[in-house]
Each structure stands twice: as structure tokens, then as C-alpha cells.
Structure 1
Amino acid sequence: MTKVLVLYYSSYGHMSQMADAVAEGARSGGATVDILRVPETAPAEVAQAAGFKSDHTHAVIESVERLADYDAIVIGSPTRFGRMSSQMASFLDQAGGLWFRGALNGKVGAAFTSTASQHGGQETTLFSLITNLLHFGMTVVGLDYGFAGQMGVDEVKGGSPYGATTIADGDGSRMPSAVELDGARYQGKRVAETATRLFA
């Protein structure tokens, strides 16, 4: 059975909810799924002062080497000034050995993110994640327009052909909407289906 890893970083819970939805979609596509988060690198006093969520429901990944155990990896990070968070970057920067061995070549990859506003860097953040996936030799799956929910202007919503997204608002008060979670599920299912076709 196809094995999918949903790997994310979340400060306030938005990415955790999106990760759950991606995993749900991947399971509906026939895959077994693990959801793990990368370690927190911010000092405890900084995280506490900023109100970072501490009651996480997903375990921390033990080692970057574990990435090689999966057929597909879906990476999620909130936006930090138009790019991935330093926590995710720090983790991926440890993958030089995997890259050197070609351990992720041919595997399936995808990305998802959140921003404070509709124009807060969703697509550039997705590209910062996708760039890593391509350097690892992975086949990238986006959020294709088969998911029609990302179209239209009837409500504020995330979504991009490059990956599922959500909008958190400047104070983090807006959690992922039903449409945004559906987009994450759709992308997760596409990842699982693509990996199954490649590795069947």
C-alpha cells in the first residue's frame, strides 16, 4: 500500500488542521498516512510570548532520514515574509545526505500553506517548498482546477494551482474554512492516487 507522510509546521493550529485534511484525502485515495510535525526552533520564551499553540496532537519527526520511508511527502508551512517558516527550512536543510544519495528521487511531493492575508505570499511560499521538492528529485502534485472550490470570489478563500492554502487573518483568528479544508483533502487524494500509479 502507498505510504504518505504529511509533514508540517504550525505555530497557531492552522497548518495542523490543514495537515489533518490532507491526510484524510490521502487515506480516501487508498494510502496509509502518517502526520508528523517538524521540531520547534524558536526559544521557549519567544514562543510563549507570541502565543504559539503548545497542545499539539501530532508527534515530532525524529530524523530527516525518515523521509526516505515514504512514497509521497506533503509538506506544509505557514508563510514567513513570503517564504516557508525557519522551522521547516531548518529541518529540510538537514536533508543533504538524502539528496546526495538520491533517496527521494522519483517520489511524489506536494505543498500547502497559510498566510495572514489573501496577498500575503501564499504562492511564493508554496514555491519555496516546491523548490526543495524538485531539488530532492520528486514529482510535484499541485491543487489542479478539478477542485473548482478554489475558483470564484463569493467568499474569502485560499487555494492555488500550486497547492492548498488557507488565510488566517492578521491576528490568526480565522481558522481554515470548509472550502479550504476540502481543497486540502482533494490535494491529498491526488497525491495518493499519483503515488499509487507510479509505484503500483
Structure 2
Amino acid sequence: MKILVVYDSKLGSVKQMARLIARGIESVDGAEAIVRCVPEIFIGSESSMDASEVGDLEATTNDLKSIDGLIVGSPTRFGNMSASMKHFLDSTSSLWMAGTLSGKPAAVFTSSSSMHGGQESTLLSMLNPLLHHGMLFCGLPYSEPALGKTTSGGTPYGASHVAGSSNTNPISADEKALCIALGKRVTVIAGKLKS
């Protein structure tokens, strides 16, 4: 069973979350986490990591053709996903037309600089194209203990992290637990759907 984690990370927090989500995926017997970053697009003078700093292969639409589940992550940009993530998702029209992702589980995750920096609206913005693909949304239920007690990131819409204005906040224990839980949840559901 293959679960794809596709992310965009400008300052590293979303990449760290992707790694934690992959741990959750691989905690399920027989599951493989495939981690990819989106191709970078540049807008104005926006600085970002170059490919050598990211360390993961760039995602292509071919990566989406033989997966059992998809988890998408982006930094928060004015309450929305990043332009690079939007550009990648916009490139999946041929898969939409073929129904390639229909009926497969999907989830989303994000990081923002402040507690009220638009995390939930960013998660919902990434959810829209996945629903158009016919994917089945897997949020985080309140049966996850960390969701009810977190004082940093974490929402029922998906995993999140509050990085701080200088991007210096480490991922909290609750945020880590929710990332791992999200990866495991999508994988378990994918397994049930596959059987």
C-alpha cells in the first residue's frame, strides 16, 4: 500500500511535518510512505529553498497514478495554500478527467507563523481540489487526545504547526502526535478501502 505525501516548504516546518506524517504511514504494516516536494515556482522576489536544500524528489502527476492515498501540505499564505502547491494541484486535470484519485483517502496539513494565521482556511483551500477529484477527506477526530489539549497547532481539518514569526518554534509534542496520527489514519482507511 502506497501513500503519497506531497508538500511545499519554504522554511522547513512543513517538510518536518511531512516526515512525521510519513512515520505515521509506515507504522502500519505493509504501508510505504512516498514523500515528494512540489516543483518551486517563483513569484516576484520571494526567496525559498533550492532543490538541494529540500532533499526530496519533485512530485509529478505520474506519482499520483498508482497510490492508495494522498496527504498534501503547504505553508499558510494569507489563509491559502502556497502558489507552488496550487500550481501543482492545477496540473492534475488529466487525472481528474480519468477519475484516477476518485474514492481514495486524502488529508491535508499546514504551518503558519501565528496561531490565527489562517491555518484552517489553508487546510480547506487544499481540500477543495481533492474533493473535486472525488477523494475521501480524512480529518483528525477528537478521539485523538492531542487534539483536545493542544495549545499550539492541530485542527479537526488536519495537522498544523505554529512556527512563530521567526520560524523558531519547534514542532510541539502535540503537533508531532497529530502529524503521526494523520499519517496512520489515512493509511488505515486506505487499507480498509482497498480490501
| Same fold? TM cut 0.5 | yes
Structure 2's unaligned 5+ residue stretches are none
For the pair 1:92 / 2:115, whether they are aligned, the reply is no
Query: 1:176 deviation in Å?
Result: 1.5
Matches within 5 A, 1:115-194: 115-152=112-149, 156-194=151-189
- In the alignment, the residues of structure 1 paired with residue 55 and residue 148 of structure 2 have an alpha-carbon distance, to the nearest angstrom, of 32
Matches within 5 A, 1:49-60: 52-54=48-50, 55-60=53-58
Per-residue CA distance 1:41-68 (angstroms, 9 max, x = gap): 1269631xxxx3341121212x213212
> How many residues end up aligned between the 2 structures?
192
Superposition TM-score, scaled by structure 1 size: 0.91
Is the CA contact (8 Å cut-off) linking 1:65 and 1:95 kept in structure 2? no
Superposition TM-score, scaled by structure 2 size: 0.93
Query: 1:132 deviation in Å?
Result: 1.2
Three-state SS of the structure 2 residue aligned to 1:88 is helix
Structure 1's unaligned 5+ residue stretches are none
- In the alignment, the residues of structure 2 paired with residue 44 and residue 57 of structure 1 have an alpha-carbon distance, to the nearest angstrom, of 24
Instruction: Tell me the C-alpha RMSD between the 2 structures.
Output: 1.5
In structure 2, do the counterparts of structure 1 residues 74 and 139 end up closer, same or farther at CA, with 3 Å as the change threshold?
Answer: same
Three-state SS of the structure 1 residue aligned to 2:62 is helix
Three-state SS of the structure 2 residue aligned to 1:159 is coil
Which stretch shifts more, 165-174 or 11-20? Answer: 165-174
Specify the alignment match of 2:74 in structure 1. Answer: 77
Three-state SS of the structure 1 residue aligned to 2:54 is coil
For the pair 1:25 / 2:24, whether they are aligned, the reply is yes
Q: In the alignment, residue 14 of structure 1 is paired with which amino acid? A: S
Q: In the alignment, residue 163 of structure 1 is paired with which amino acid? A: G
